[in-house]
Structure 1
Amino acid sequence: MVSSWRDFWDRDNPIYVNDRHKARHYAGLAREIVALVPHPGAVVLDHGSGEALSADRIAGACRRLYLCDASPRQRLALAQRFAACPAITVLAPDDLAALPAASLDLVVANSLAQYLTGPELDACLRDWRRLLKPGACLILADVIPPHLGAVADATALLAFARRDGFLWAALLGLARTCLSDYRALRRRLGLARYDEAGMLARLREAGFAAERMPRNLGHNQGRMGFVARA
């Protein structure tokens, strides 16, 4: 039985409706992260990276890319996928403590906050604040506001699928998700939600100068993205 979101992400799951959906998601996210890399010598952390299928594109735009994920299964797959890319290092969350202070130029945490408890998010904020160079950026994206429900998420997915050519698969995938344990897990464990003012206050309390981004990363513009400077 799946007892936590970490368990859920450490196994096959129905989040991506097919391989095209997964590939287009990661390709688009990589393109957006590349645009955020401040310079070619930058050291970047993607925290909660997931499968990161297009991480080699990000690594090509910076000097060092750390891919950090809580799932041992994902970390093994990442290490195998990018074994020939010396600019990429795969880390577990506990490994962050060994990184030097003020050593990162950019931290991206996309679609992570909703799977953390409040204390877990605060601990991450402290870690990221310690690791970022003065003036460097944290991008905290795909944050779910209180009013956004599953219907809005489904509508955003269908619009993405229509644009990128997997609409029929998305319709079937949504039906499959409704029959999977994801729906029950989402109801039982919940997803952390934050309003804009609350998240800005949390970031400022952690020592960041923060503001909401004009656009969220990824396809779901009902969710929020924040840029926070150390």
Structure 2
Amino acid sequence: MDDWIDYYDSTHTIYVSKLHRDLHFQIIARDIIGYIPSPDATVLDYACGEALSANEVAAACGKLILAEPAPGVRGRLIARFAPKTKIRVRSLDDIRKMQDQSIDLVVMNSVAQYMTPEELDAALLNIRRILKPSGKLVLGDILQPNVGMGRDVMALLGFGLRHGFLKDALIGLISTALSDYRQLRSRIGLQRYSEDEITAKLKAAGFAVQRAHGNIGHNRWRMTFVARPPLVR
């Protein structure tokens, strides 16, 4: 995951325009809010990125913890949200030291593809530990083995067409093809999981799991799963 952390900590071109970036975070925030169980819930956004719409998520819960591995991004989050008493910024190391059964909702969106299978297993075990018995993990944006980059291109173009940045999306695709992102993706690759494979990983970490009807974000060819500690009978 370290190479991807370095990439996202750099001046990258993953978003084709400011509108694309802003809409991306707005839609993710809307989807996260839909999973918040109560207004007083403690929510953890695991590897949250820039989290530009975190204020909206924080307004819907009691406390929002933004966990971010990239030091530069984390520094910007700390500066941006310092006045917000409901938002706290943490490193992934901090998350590994959190109190047992202290979180109501963990969202890990568009993260698993950048982790090795072993890193994902370790993260899932830790999340299982810090979740309350009534809590849940939402694992979103899982790439499927049989869905290639062409679907990502179509999802971006459709997103751009619906929201008025199609021209920027086309230009951005050309830029991405020549960028460090494409080189890194070709060299390291992204982890892909079938529904059965990700279900097995979650069950091995101690979760009961079901696939959500829709994915978090705009890419409908990717998968989201909702995992919960099994009910104690």
How many Å apart are 1:8 and its aligned residue? 0.7
Letter in 2 for 1:52: A
- Counterpart CA distance in 1 for 2:47 and 2:164 is 27
1:84 aligns with 2:107: no
Q: Are residues 1:199 and 2:207 paired? A: no
Aligned counterparts of 1:96 and 1:8: Cα–Cα separation in 2: 22
Classify the secondary structure of the residue corresponding to 1:4.
helix
Distance (Å, rounded) in 2 between the aligned partners of 1:165 and 1:106: 33
What is the TM-score of this pair, normalised by structure 2? 0.96
Residue 98 of structure 1 deviates from its aligned partner by 2.6
1:188-227 equivalent positions in 2, closer than 5 A: 188-227=187-226
Alignment partner of 2:132: what SS? strand
- Aligned equivalent of 1:153: 152
| Aligned residue runs from structure 1 range 55-204, under 5 A | 55-204=54-203
* 1:13 aligned partner: 12
Structure 2 gap ranges (5+)? none
Q: What is the letter of the counterpart of residue 90 of structure 1? A: V
Superposition RMSD in Å: 0.9
Deviations 1:21-79 (A, max 9, x none): 00000011111111111001100000010000000110011111000111001101111
In structure 1, the gaps of 5 or more residues are none
State the partner residue of 1:41.
40
Amino acid at match of 1:83: A
How many residues end up aligned between the 2 structures?
Answer: 228
Moved over 6 A (4+): none
Superimposed CA distance per residue, residues 124-178 of structure 1 (whole angstroms, 9 cap, x where no aligned partner):
0011000100031100000000011111101000101111111110100000000
Determine the C-alpha separation between the residues in 1 that align with 2:84 and 2:28.
19
State the Cα deviation string for residues 57-114 of structure 1 (Å, max 9, x = none): 1001111100011100110111111122110000100001332100000000000000
